[in-house]
Amino acid sequence: MPIPHSRLALPHLTTRLILAGLLVASVTPQAIAQVTSDASTPIATVLVNGQAEADAGGQIAKSARAGMLGEKDLLDTPFSVNSYTSQRMLDQQALTLAEVLGGDPSTRFTGQIGGVTDSFFIRGFPLNEGNLSEVAFDGVYGVSPNYHLFTEYLQSVEVLKGPAALLYGMSPNGGVGGVVNAVPKRSLPRDLTRLTVDYGSSAQLGAAIDVSRRFGEERRFGIRFNGLHRQGKTPLDHQRSRAEVAAVALDYQGQRLRASLDVIEQYQWIDAPTRPFLVAARLPVPAAPDGRRNIAQSWGWWKSNDLATLGKVEYDLNDNVTVFADVGGTRSDVSRYSDQTPTITSAAGDMTVTPMNWKFRVRRASADTGVRARFRTGGIEHALVVMGNVYQDEFGSVSNSGKLISSNIYRPVAVPDPGIAAPVRAPKLSASTLSSLAVADTLDMLDQRVQLTLGVRRQLVESKNYHATTGALTTRYKQGALTPLAGIVVKPLRNVSLYANYIEGLSKGDIAPNIADNAGQVFAPYKSKQYEVGTKADLGVVLATLAVFQVSKPSGALYGKVYSMDSEQRNRGLELNLSGAASKAVRLLAGITLLDGRLVKTNSAATMGKRPVGVPTSMANLGGEWDLPYWPGLTATGAVSYTSKQYVDQANVQSVPSWTKVDLGLRYRTAIAGKATTLRGGLMNAFDRHYWAGVASYGTISQSAPRTLQLSAAVDF
């Protein structure tokens, strides 16, 4: 039997978030006037983070962060970047990061809907696989909730394509396909109190509150609160889920001093959580089952608790020099009593799976400090940034196993709860410290017609592994590397830019395994290299980006009895992104990515020149909105997503076929009792296609979500 939800580890989180939301909402204009030192003081214009101008369709912001370079106009950034706005997330009815990034044509979700983590491929390279999140939060690694991010507390989601070790520092798991930066909500210039209720099939009910206030002299102090409670049955067989979120964002916007503090607590519980599938070697991949089929046992469950905090401050020493610092971290605790590594063993869909009782413990922390300066040398304007940062993580886990279960992906077999004992504690298994010093300068020439960015980061990587039982140090890794950047933007017209970049990514090098003659040898960090050229145009009604790139990533392999760093994956590609308004009544968001991924160096003739696992040849997205005539406020929406065939093994023997998914929806904006109200309805996977939606880098495949109805109503008070 599922454990009753009344026994959750945080039984009072819902009460706390409701009380906090009501407290913030009670800060009325009259209350503000009482705490303001002079109520007659004119209200100054307050620039608040995350409120960037959007394209004509309101879906893509025209500026985004570029790591240590700060926030930049997309046309002034020598990289391919998409910044998805909160308005798009609301209209899309996106619940977590997985749904947001599903609309990006260079990104694909490789996790399992109803599963335990959000993982992705960007430009054909994995991101966020494993137990250490690689999602940056307000430009900082080590702060975001570890396994899922909910959209309730996000102002925008930025996707910077390609390696970015200079811009953000080394990614915690060494991801090089790109950086996903989650930008938190900040207090708005105008007060907001918004209540949203939602429904998802089969019986998921949710309520969220979003409250924004500014107060004090010249309204310099701000607070934004977001709370969520959602629970009930999901569209998957015998699955239930529960989520509770409380997020508080404080900020101060002074003339010289700016500061912010984000605190997020979230709790999740899933009964019968899903897991991606392995496929037995050389077995043709069976057809995907109905997305509603859930092979997980009804007595299984997964629960997690995250507490994330980030404080940031910056101070203008004068009009040209700013010092800044930030510090934050995340505590994540996970328990899981469920199936592990289901493996398909026959063309008829037979499978085996082992139930396990797990405990996970993840601790992460990060701190940055630096200075930004603007100055001129002759006719050249400089934007210089010097910064240092340190990131630390600690991971522990332990598990107890049960007996193997035989089942079938089309006709799952229910078995009694084996009663596997829970581990007492999760011992420390690994710890890492990533520290670096970086400098970058953007040279602005010819009245901003030419911008040249040059930079370099010195990264030190230290990693330790520990014995699970004794706690003794077993292996230690300490290496350093330099990662440069060279980028240029040329503007033949004010609204058109041509750009090019060379940038490197960094991944922790391997330690030769015990079976090798050179066992224990520590290799230098991998350096991935990207060459990219492209063009961007802001045509007023349409924002367009075209990019051509090549990314190469080395890896290690055992050659005979010697382990060496002689393998390499190379992805070449073309990306086209379009967003904006086709007319006053029609808005579009579209893109296509063509990929030529190859294993250009391997230790086997069977894999040389083959396509890498999980890398399709093409991905495309087309989304549209149409304001229906003769019915003001009513908008029809639709989106089509396509992904070509993907291989499951490096020898390219096993594959999953291409798939196309269609989403449909309606949105109605009106006023009820004088309150702005938005009603939304969506039918995801409208034609109920059954397909394998994702392939992870280690060869697991994930089911698609079934046809799902989503309804919501938002009222601004």
Least confident of 9-18, 61-70, 381-390: 9-18
CA angle 546–439–173, rounded 5-degree value: 65
The pLDDT of residue 52: 73
**HEC string of 32-99?**
HHHHCCCCCCCCCCCCCCCCCCECCCCCEECEEECHHHCEEEHHHCCCCEEEEEHHHHHHHCCCEHHH
pLDDT band with cut points at 50, 70 and 90 for residue 51: low
The pLDDT of residue 16: 52
Across 280-379, the runs of DSSP E, i.e. the strands, are 301-316, 321-344, 350-377
The pairing of strands 71-73 and 675-684 is: unpaired
Q: Rounded to whole angstroms, how far apart are CA atoms 119 and 142? A: 16
Sheet holding 178-184, edge to edge: 81-85, 154-161, 178-184, 136-137
**Average pLDDT for residues 677-695, to the nearest whole number?**
97
Per the CB < 8 A criterion, the answer to whether 127 and 134 are in contact is yes
The pairing of strands 675-684 and 350-377 is: unpaired
Peptide bond just before 202 cis, omega within 30 deg: yes
- Secondary structure percentages of the chain, helix, strand, coil, to 5: 5, 55, 35
For residue 579, the surrounding DSSP H or E stretch is strand 562-581
The pLDDT of residue 331: 97
Per the CB < 8 A criterion, the answer to whether 136 and 121 are in contact is no
Structure tokens that stand for 547 in this block: 């990019």
The pairing of strands 692-695 and 701-703 is: antiparallel
CATH code of the region 63-716: 2.40.170.20
pLDDT, tens digit, 9 for 90 and up, residues 228-248: 999 999 999 999 999 999 999
More confident residue, 51 or 156: 156
The pLDDT of residue 117: 85
The overall average pLDDT reported for the chain is: 91
Map residue 340 onto helix, strand or coil: strand
What ranges in 126-226 are assigned the alpha helix state H? 165-168
- Cβ-based neighbour number of residue 19 at 10 Å: 13
Q: Rounded to whole angstroms, how far apart are CA atoms 71 and 75? A: 12
pLDDT surpasses 50 at 156: yes
Q: Which amino acid is at 576?
A: L
Q: Rounded to whole angstroms, how far apart are CA atoms 106 and 573? A: 10
Q: Rounded to whole angstroms, how far apart are CA atoms 78 and 532? A: 9
pLDDT band with cut points at 50, 70 and 90 for residue 157: very high
More confident residue, 31 or 99: 99
Task: Identify which of 154, 187, 248, 250 has the alpha carbon closest to the alpha carbon of residue 46.
Answer: 187
pLDDT, tens digit, 9 for 90 and up, residues 179-196: 999 999 999 999 999 999
Give the chain's largest Cα–Cα span.
80
**Average pLDDT for residues 344-352, to the nearest whole number?**
97
Structure tokens that stand for 368 in this block: 């940055």
For residue 251, the surrounding DSSP H or E stretch is strand 240-253
Per the CB < 8 A criterion, the answer to whether 465 and 473 are in contact is yes
Task: Identify which of 355, 308, 298, 362 has the alpha carbon closest to the alpha carbon of residue 334.
Answer: 362
Which residue has tokens 């330099």? 482
Domain layout of the chain by residue ranges = 63-716
Q: Within 13 Å, how many C-alpha atoms sit on residue 705's CB side? A: 26
Q: Rounded to whole angstroms, how far apart are CA atoms 426 and 359? A: 6
pLDDT band with cut points at 50, 70 and 90 for residue 303: very high
Structure tokens that stand for 225 in this block: 């609160």
pTM listed for this prediction: 0.91
pLDDT, tens digit, 9 for 90 and up, residues 562-574: 887 778 999 999 9
Which residue has tokens 């992870």? 696
